[in-house]
Amino acid sequence: MSTLVFVLTVSFMTIACYAAPRGQCKANRDNSVSYSGFQVWTITPHSKTKQINLMKIIQHYNLEIWKETNEIHEPVNVMVPPRYQKEIRLKLEEVKIPYDVEISDLQKAISTENPKTNDSAVNSKTAHQMDWTSYHRLDDIYGYLSFLADRYPCRVQLLNVGSSYEGRPLYVVHITNSTSPDTPAIWIDGGFHAREWISPALATYIIQQLVEEPRNAELLVNVNWYIMPVVNPDGYEYTHLKNRLWRKTRSPTGSASAKCQGVDLNRNFDFKWGGPGSSSNPCSQVYKGPSAFSEPETLAYSNFITSKSNEIKLYLTLHSSGQLIMLPWGYERNTFPSDYDEMLTLAKNAACKFRKFTYKVGNKVDLLYRASGNSADWAKSIGIKYVYSVELPINGFILPASNILPVSQDFFRAMDVFAAEVSTLNAS
């Protein structure tokens, strides 16, 4: 494991608003967090020495990493508070590490990321507000799921599998054309991390394509689909209302500081819980929680998937960003499931379908970092055959809504490959 990635996975990682000294992050009149003056830099170390120097700078200023890598010569994206920009620029120039300013004012990028929509304008033909030209609030997403269940009752079931900490329902959409109990299934989820808006957008796009596009009917032949667009609804709503870059849940942690609220759901599963790549510090972005499945979201999620584990043959969990399709295990380096080569072959075949974006395919630790207690490792541990964690395009969490359709349309091409393989397997 590279020195840089080691630091990323074990050091204190907090959201930049709170990592910055007092006064660096300001609140707007509605008490939402402003990232005015923050920048995102793309920094490329071209040697091991420069990688170590960059690691020291990141550690010294407690910078938040937006894109991590295991490879020398590959860029690292970091968020830089206004107060430190001059100092860090000088330090990088001193050690001759090149950088580019990817986003010159983060708040301006946030303000223009999502076009304003008319909340009162309901499409008279469809009775819902969903589209894939903007990012939508939870009510729009859930309203669309309800619409589909009402409009297509023989094909769509809307399953309430539990409630979030703040009492929001946790919905799974079941899409099927089969009456056989032996029909294998594909699981897809999005929205584990609240700020990764592209993942719920893609998940809902897949739902729309499976249900409302007749040309995709063959994807329902001998395959059932379970799709959970928003695993972390409390955090997702919080990113729309208060802090665009919030990552975790909104459950209390016992800390008096508001910045230390919430758990990283993707470190809260019981398989290898608490190992490398997670933290016991409530202020960390990768806080594992007080115990495995401490969060109502992960408990409901795991209970439902476990109840369908004989049926589910392929598992996809959608994150951003980085253009990666990652395979278990993610808890330790050089550790692989016995059928890793089969999983790798299918993932590579799927990646070959993409036209607009290029994805790297491989082991999670090799491509990114260690992450004990993650959902994909857990899914594999309970016997699901094909398990993948996906980092979607493009670099960073602030992805203009104009990218939703290009990303979604390109990724949907892989559904043919996944469905064709799963259709050959029997639920048992």
Kindly list the catalytic residues.
391
Residue spans of beta strands (DSSP E) within 75-220:
76-80, 99-103, 156-163, 169-175, 185-189
Element (H, E) at 240: helix 233-241
Tokens in use for 294? 């401490």
Element (H, E) at 227: strand 224-228
Separation CA 61–CA 302 (nearest Å): 37
Separation CA 168–CA 165 (nearest Å): 7
Separation CA 229–CA 318 (nearest Å): 9
Tokens in use for 200? 């719920």
DSSP strand pairing (156-163 vs 169-175): antiparallel
Tokens in use for 233? 């609804």
DSSP strand pairing (99-103 vs 39-43): antiparallel
Cα–Cα nearest to 399, from 202, 211, 196:
196
DSSP letter at 133 equals S
Tokens in use for 272? 């290898």
Long-range contacts of 155-164, Cβ-Cβ distance < 8 Å, separation of 24 or more: 155/211, 155/220, 156/211, 159/304, 161/228, 161/300, 161/301, 161/303, 161/304, 162/296, 162/297, 162/299, 162/300, 162/301, 162/303, 162/304, 163/296, 163/300, 164/232, 164/233, 164/234, 164/249, 164/296, 164/297
Tokens in use for 48? 């091991």
Tokens in use for 364? 């999670």
